[in-house]
């Protein structure tokens, strides 16, 4: 069973409802989805993106280069990682 989504702050839910016109249930779900997205760890991000790119038939050599660049633009503080470190996250 997947982890439950985080509970959204009531003030934030009210703000999103007021500024978007979303229903309370939809606003709560959207907030929880965004929070979960930004809570992703470097390791989870690398594994997820590697899988997404492989499904698009991208070669590993291109994936490692893309991931090394992408992780520097994400919200988490990711250290500069070598291709070898990225491979170890995916393959162990």
Return the pLDDT at 1.
46
Residue 6 pLDDT level (bands cut at 50, 70, 90): low
pTM, entire model: 0.61
**What is the mean predicted confidence (pLDDT) over 74-91?**
85
Give the count of alpha carbons within 13 A of 72, CB side only: 8
- What is the DSSP secondary-structure string of 14-68? HHHHHHH---HHHHHHHHHHHHHHHT--HHHHHHHHHHHHHHTT--HHHHHHHHH
- Residue-wise pLDDT tens digits, 20-73: 999 999 999 999 998 888 888 889 999 999 999 999 999 999 999 999 999 888
Instruction: Kindly compute the dihedral angle of the four CA atoms of residues 70, 8, 19, 45, in this order, to the nearest 10 degrees.
Output: 10
Return the pLDDT at 26.
96
Return the pLDDT at 13.
93
């Amino acid at each position: 069973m997947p982890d439950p989504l985080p509970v959204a702050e009531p003030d934030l839910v009210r703000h999103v409802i007021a500024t978007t016109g979303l229903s309370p249930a939809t606003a709560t779900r959207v907030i929880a989805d965004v929070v979960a997205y930004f809570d992703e760890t470097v390791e989870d991000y690398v594994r997820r993106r590697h899988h997404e790119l492989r499904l698009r038939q991208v070669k590993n050599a291109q994936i490692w280069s893309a991931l090394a660049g992408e992780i520097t633009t994400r919200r988490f503080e990711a250290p500069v990682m070598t291709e070898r470190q990225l491979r170890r996250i995916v393959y162990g």
